[in-house]
Structure 1
Amino acid sequence: MKEYFVLQFKMLNRQLTEWGIEPIIGYLIGIFAFVGISIKLFEKTQFAEYIHITLALSLVLKLNEINRNEFLKLCYSKTEYIKIRIVENLIVSIVFILFLLFEEKYLSSILLFILATLFSLIDLKTKSSFTLPTPFYKHPFEFTVGFRSNYFIYFFAYFLTFVSISVDNFNLGIFSLILTLLCCLNYYTNSENEFYVWVFSLTPKEFLKYKLRYIIQYSTILSLPILISLSLFFYTKIDLIIGFQFLGYLFIFTTMLAKYSVFPEKLNIKFGIILALTFWFPPLLVLIIPYLYIQSTKKLKEIL
């Protein structure tokens, strides 16, 4: 197990070096950036602790990719596999847990610790021949595949919405909405095979418009139970509810553009840093979206 983490550490150092960043400097910049952004986040919004939990869980979910975990199962025994998954999840979430403790958000830090551990024990791959029905058509594939991979998160989000209404906690309800939208965003962080883009008889602009239409349609379907519930029981804050939903559309659209701006390559840590900055200061999307749109059309023009 030790060799696995040593290898991962060396691979991360090599990737930073390829980007022209000295690893030790990259780590220091990352730590200071995380602390600075987190402090500002807690100063500016009352939803900061929920945003922290959501971001941490999104990273944890990235480690639950089916093919990757199947490979680990082939290389390690069941006991070692579970240990690796638990340690991995805790490594990516530890900075969020520590900062929540620093802000004296003890319940949130304990909740994040428990969820990160539990997610390491959940195998998202179904071994039965049963095909889980979805509220989506087969096109585009992101939502159909993504929903079948982590459908349980939506039920968890709906449960949190019910709890928020029961205890009259609007912040918890907004957290459930953010969690749902973040799951949708996660569907666009993985690149598909070039063939699944080439088959479209569309121009790059038409292709991106097609993707945007389904982002709005399908993410609305998944968040609709939460939107309706919160709007009925917290109707005085409906402007905030609509605002978070609209921001969700923008962030998902931005991630989709980022994916195709480097397509067929995969998204890297640079996008993660940019996304974190936009979470902290959403007006940056006004500059980032046009840039990514132009880059996406250039990349797609080579394939479509």
Structure 2
Amino acid sequence: MKEYFILQFKMQNRQLTAWGIEPVIGYVLGLFAFMVLSIKLFEATQFAEYFYMVVALSVVLKWNEVNRNDFLKLCYSRKGYIKIRIIENLLVSIAFISFLLVQEKYLSSVLLAISVCLFSLIDLKSKSSFTVPTPFYKHPFEFALGFRTNYILYLFAYLLALMAIYVDNFNLGIFALLLTLVSCLSYYTNSEDAFYVWVFSLSPKEFIRYKLKNIIHYATLLCLPITISLSLFFYTKIDIILGVQCIGYLFIFTTMLAKYSVFPEKINIRFGIVLALTVWLPLLLVLIIPYLYIQSTKKLKEILQ
């Protein structure tokens, strides 16, 4: 079991090196960015602890991939497998648990620790042929795949919006809207096979316009229950609601351009750092978007034409 974690650590170091980042520097910068974002989040909203728990559990669920877990079950006994999964889940969530303790959110930190341990016992492998229906079947693949993966998160966001209306807390409603938009943004962090781009009989510019249309159409559809509800009950702040919605489109579009600017390679950690900076300095998008657009058209031209 010790050898397994040593191997995972070495693989992580190699991944950082492949991205052009010295592992030690990467870990230090990652921890620093996590602390800064965490502090800003807890200063911005009183519901930061719940956001923490959702994000941590979402990350843990990403590690509960069926094929990977099946491989671990083949290599280790049942007891060894459970130990590995518990340790992995705790390592992934330890930063969140620690910061909750620093913020004196003791109950949330304990619940999170218990939850990630229980998640190690859950096998998400489906035994039925049931597929979650989506309204996105005409334009795969980002939203159709993403919705089926994160539909529980949307239910949670819609519940938060209802709670915001019930307790008359506008900030909680905006948080629910942001949670939905961030989920949509995450769909464009994974690259498809080049074949699924090649099949389009479009120029690079037309392809990018097609993707932008899908972003606006489907992100609007997912945010609509929250947007309408908040607009009805907080109608004096409709300008803020629509402003957040439009900025969300802009960030999703930027991420999409970033994906195709390095296509068919995956987005590296450098873009994640740049995107985090634009959250605090949105004017950077004025420089970033044109650059990514030019790079995207160059990469897409190699495949589409």
TM-score (norm 1): 0.84
Q: Report what 1:156 is aligned to.
A: 156
List aligned pairs for 1:4-23, cutoff 5 A: 4-23=4-23
Following superposition, the deviation at residue 30 of structure 1 comes to 2.7
Aligned to 1:223: 223
Q: Hey, what does 1:91 align to over in structure 2?
A: 91
Residue 267 of structure 2 is matched in structure 1 by 267
Alpha-carbon distance, 1:288 to partner: 1.6
Which residue of structure 2 lines up, in the alignment, with residue 129 of structure 1?
129
Please name the residue that 1:242 is paired with: 242
Residues 167 and 80 of structure 1: CA distance in aligned 2, closer, same or farther (over 3 Å) = farther
Runs (5+) with no aligned partner, structure 2: none
TM-score of the two chains, using structure 2 as the length reference: 0.84
Question: Residue in 2 aligned with 1:251?
Answer: 251
Question: More displaced, 138-147 or 81-90?
Answer: 81-90
Confirm or deny: 8 A CA contact 2:19 2:269 kept in the other structure.
Answer: no
- Equivalent AA in structure 2 for residue 136 of structure 1: F
Distance 1:80 1:297, change over 3 A: farther
What is the deviation of 1:160?
A: 1.6
Q: Deviations over 1:68-121 (max 9, x none)?
A: 455445544555555544443443343344334444566765676566566666
- Asked if 2 retains the 8 angstrom alpha-carbon contact of 1:154 and 1:180, the reply is yes
Q: Is the 8 A contact 1:140 1:214 kept in 2?
A: no
Question: Does residue 202 of the first structure (1) align with residue 202 of the second (2)?
Answer: yes
Worse-matched range after superposition: 110-119 or 198-207: 110-119
How many residue pairs align between the two structures?
303
**Residues 141/119 of structure 1: CA separation in 2 closer, same or farther (3 Å cut):** farther
Whichever residue aligns with residue 262 of structure 1, its letter is: V
Cα distance in 2 for residues equivalent to 1:97 and 1:144: 32
**Preserved CA contact (<8 Å) 1:100 1:106:** yes
**Residue 266 of structure 1 aligns to which amino acid in structure 2?**
K
Q: Which residue of 2 aligns with 1:147?
A: 147
Q: How does 1:103-122 map to 2 (within 5 A)?
A: 103-104=103-104
Instruction: Decide whether aligned partners of structure 1 residues 143 and 37 sit closer, same or farther in structure 2, where only a CA change above 3 A counts.
Output: closer
In the other structure, the counterpart of 2:48 is 49
Larger radius of gyration: 2
Distance 1:126 1:250, change over 3 A: farther
Cα distance change of structure 1 residues 226 and 145 upon mapping to structure 2, 3 Å threshold: same
SS of alignment partner, residue 238 of structure 2: helix
Bigger Cα displacement from structure 2, 143-152 vs 213-222:
143-152
CA distance in 1, matches of 2:61, 2:109: 18
Contact 1:73 1:81 in 2 (8 A): yes
- 8 Å CA contact retained: 2:19, 2:268: no
* Secondary structure at 2:188 match in 1: coil
RMSD over equivalenced CA pairs, Å: 3.0
1:138–1:144 contact (8 Å) kept in structure 2: no
Q: How far does residue 174 in structure 1 lie from its aligned partner after superposition?
A: 1.9
Structure 1 stretches of at least 4 aligned residues deviating more than 6 Å after TM superposition: none
Partner of residue 280, structure 1 = 280
Going from structure 1 to structure 2, the CA distance change for 1:268 and 1:286 (only over 3 Å counts) comes to: same
